[in-house]
Structure 1
Amino acid sequence: MSLAVKRDVGMDVAAFRLWAEARPDAERWELLDGEPVLMAPPRERHQRIVMNLAGRLDALAEPRGCRAVPNLAILSAAMDDFAPIPDVVVRCGPPLPDGYATDPLLVAEVLSPSTMSLDRGRKIDFYRTVPSLKVLLIVYSDEIRIEVWRRAGEDWGVTALGPDGTVTLPELDGSVPVRDIYRGLTV
């Protein structure tokens, strides 16, 4: 005999946005599979990687009328129960009226040991549904390693880079040496 368990229906993005507005400003929440998830304060090492990466990406993006911004939520019409907040988002066009982007060109997730399986699993599945997204960077914080996920038509390819690698970004007419992303850190 089998037992069917009915899963409670989670929040959609509209309900999450209303709910999140009432939360204290010091709290950062993302919506994953219909569930609000409180984001823990990141470690200093994590933040150093984010700052290095955001600075290099912003320098490449600005001449194209784009910018690198930390902590914007990403939305996709294909998955209305997700609003993840990656570490860095590159987008073009006018500034957003709020913290929700539907048009990222590039997204970067800096992995933390506690979020690695989620960031490399469900979030990648979600990001692949965002039509404007061309590049996804998965940046490891505990080793010098970056995965570059790039859209090629309907498919995605992935390349792993180590300490001597360079993240080539034709979308931004430039590149970033992997070592620059980890500048100021010991491994």
Structure 2
Amino acid sequence: MAVAARRETRMCVAEYRVWVEDRPDSERWELIDGEPLLMSPPRERHQAIVANFIVSLAGLAQEKGCRALPRLAVLSAAMDDFAPIPDVIVRCGPLLPDGYSSDPILVAEVLSPGTMSLDRGRKTDFYRSVSSLHRFLLVSQDEARIEVWRRAAEGWAIDILYGGGILDLPELGGSVAVRDLYTDIVF
């Protein structure tokens, strides 16, 4: 569950970056609607799904000169009061000088009971504003189910994939079986 830091005014990303620099490395903070939110440590099930994603995407990403990475903040020029930290991003190009990416091509959020409404609500609005993003994924922990948001000519399209499905990733030139993203996860 996320806990907001009490503040009198909303922060922009520049203020947040200065503020969070003094926080201990053990704390995971996000900026959502101008409020710094302290995230609780994820459960092992959550982290196992994240690890499966990174392993499954790493080869495809590498072939395109990209990387699948955990815990980088995402920035958007359209929303200066957000710096969420999704579970997995894929980005291309040289290594970043810091932990902030404004150019991810894929973002995955593993849904947790305490953050599900935020992930499906304000974070979804935010991710749709990131101009480089081709798709973002909302990944269930309770069943083999992935909600795939993909950028289309007319806006965003949504597909739902289940355990027997295939996650097509044309931006990475390949695909991943949904079952591989849930390796060793028992429902």
- Shorter chain as denominator, the TM-score bin is over 0.9
> What is the TM-score with the length of structure 1 in the denominator?
0.95
Aligned to 2:16: 16
Name stretches of at least 5 consecutive residues in structure 2 with no aligned partner.
1-6
User: Between the two proteins, what is the percent identity of the paired residues?
Assistant: 65
Aligned mates of 1:73, 1:178 — CA distance in 2: 25
Aligned to 1:129: 129
1:143 Cα offset (Å): 1.2
- Per-residue CA deviations over 1:137-171 (Å, capped at 9, x if unaligned) read 11001111001110013500000011111101111
- RMSD in angstroms over aligned alpha carbons? 1.1
Query: 1:65 corresponds to which letter in structure 2?
Result: G
Aligned to 1:41: 41
- Per-residue CA deviations over 1:8-67 (Å, capped at 9, x if unaligned) read 530000000000000011111000000000011000000000000111111110011000
Aligned to 2:169: 169
Aligned mates of 2:84, 2:37 — CA distance in 1: 9
Aligned mates of 1:17, 1:153 — CA distance in 2: 34
* Structure 2 SS opposite 1:29: strand
* Structure 2 SS opposite 1:186: coil
Query: 2:173 corresponds to which letter in structure 1?
Result: D
* Structure 2 SS opposite 1:151: strand
* Structure 1 SS opposite 2:15: helix
Name stretches of at least 5 consecutive residues in structure 1 with no aligned partner.
1-6
Aligned to 1:80: 80
1:29 maps to 2:24: no
Aligned to 1:4: none
> What is the TM-score with the length of structure 2 in the denominator?
0.95
Question: Which ranges of 4 or more aligned residues in structure 1 deviate by more than 2 Å?
Answer: none
* Structure 1 SS opposite 2:80: coil
